[in-house]
Structure 1
Amino acid sequence: MQDYKWLNEYCLNRFGSAAALEAHLPTPATSKKLKAISADRYLSTMALRVFRAGLKHSLVDAKWPAFEEVFFHFDPEKVVLMGADHLERLMQDTRIIRHLGKLKSVPRNAQMILDIEQTHGSFGNFIADWPVNDIVGLWRYLAKHGNQMGGLSAPRFLRMVGKDTFIPTWDVVAALNAQNIVDKVPTSQRDQAIVQDAFNQWHEQSGRPLCQLSTMLAYTVNH
């Protein structure tokens, strides 16, 4: 695989200057900020990610105020009590996106958040304290213990709340393929570990967060 020096030089050549490159890179939230996010905001963002999957984001976002209303502003203690009858009634509410599987995911993910709070004090603590050098482990945890959080949903959710992570988008996977790191989307635990190791090496060489390295890597793919 190419080292960080190559990656940096490629991106500098593409954007023309360090300042131009920096303007296109995301910045992760601090641990303090992640810990300050309330459980209801984490649940709202998780639900937003679930409903955005496969749909036009602007369509989902336009309906989100109604989602906030029908899900009690995503208070996990209230949402977790929503039974099948309640969800069936929501299927008649034209203000929201009526997808039963995704609607069911909200109380299930509320339960995950409450379970985690029992052992970590807060969901924010859990997210903030997870080591980024094993961020794929957090993806797997959310996919296993949450609902509809597989595939790109976990890393995209983490990016949305500000947790440092890389995202295996098509461009990133194409770049990893070009460097012979993996030859397909890293869905297996083995392939995810290989990709994590590559990002850890670039991080050690550069000091940059994973989200910036992921974005820079995507820029190496020609369109």
Structure 2
Amino acid sequence: MIAFETIESAAIERLGGEAELQAALVRPEPPESLAMIGDDRYLSVMCRRIFRAGLTHRLVDARWPAFEVAFDDFDLARVAALTDDDLKRLATDESLIRHRRKIFAVRDNAQAMQAIVDEFGSFGFWLAEWPEEEIVDLWAELKKRFMQLGGNSGPAFLRMAGKDTFLLTDWVVQALSEWNAYSGKTHTRSAHADIQALFNTWHGQSGLPYCQISQILAFSID
């Protein structure tokens, strides 16, 4: 396996220096901060990620204040109690993005999140306690528990929420192949386990967060 410092050196060279690389890297929230974020904010971020899928982020973000009003600031109990008639009405609201399945997923996901809150005390605590060296298992859990969080949407939600996770973007997958670290399918559970093991090794070598390791991989290739 290639040493991560070789990959990092390539990224530094491509970006023009160590300072330029550091300026481009995201920084995850510490577990104590994740645990303190309100459940309503997690639901809002989750739903915003879902609506971003397939649309420009700028379009969704511009409409998001209207979503906050329409869904009672994403209060879990209120959203979970919405009726089908309520959701049908919202699906025709021109101030929102009129995607029926995603509108209905807001209520479904509020109910799923409420189940986690009932069991663990808060969604943030549940998220904070999940070990990053098993982050692909969290991807699978999100896909199982929530609507519209398959594929890259689950990891992308975690990144937006501040939870440390790597992403398998096209650039990251290409970098894994070009560095002869991993090639082949990247969407199966066994592939995720193999790639997790790679990232765990590189995390041990570098001490960097998983999110930064995946960014550096993407920056390391042309």
TM range (shorter): over 0.9
- Counterpart residue number, 2:4: 4
* Alpha-carbon distance between aligned partners in 1 of 2:183 and 2:83, rounded to the nearest angstrom: 43
Maintained 8 Å contact 1:11/1:220: yes
Q: Name the TM-score, length of structure 2 as normaliser.
A: 0.97
Is 1:14–2:14 an aligned residue pair? yes
Query: Unaligned regions of 5+ residues in structure 1, if any?
Result: none
The 5 A counterparts of 1:23-102 are 23-102=23-102
Local SS of the residue matching 2:201: helix
* Alpha-carbon distance between aligned partners in 1 of 2:101 and 2:199, rounded to the nearest angstrom: 34
* Alpha-carbon distance between aligned partners in 1 of 2:112 and 2:10, rounded to the nearest angstrom: 42
Change (3 A) 1:27 1:70: same
What is the identity percentage for the equivalent residue pairs of Structure 1 and Structure 2?
44
Quote the RMSD (CA, aligned, Å): 1.1
- Counterpart residue number, 1:121: 121
1:18, CA displacement in angstroms? 2.0
Q: Runs of 4 or more off by more than 4 Å in structure 1?
A: none
1:185, CA displacement in angstroms? 4.8
- Counterpart residue number, 1:104: 104
Residue type of the alignment partner of 2:190: R
Residue type of the alignment partner of 1:134: E
* Alpha-carbon distance between aligned partners in 2 of 1:186 and 1:72, rounded to the nearest angstrom: 38
* Alpha-carbon distance between aligned partners in 2 of 1:85 and 1:184, rounded to the nearest angstrom: 45
Local SS of the residue matching 2:97: coil
1:16, CA displacement in angstroms? 3.4
Query: Unaligned regions of 5+ residues in structure 2, if any?
Result: none
Q: Name the TM-score, length of structure 1 as normaliser.
A: 0.96
1:81-108 deviation line (CA, Å, top 9, x unaligned): 1121111111221100111100011111
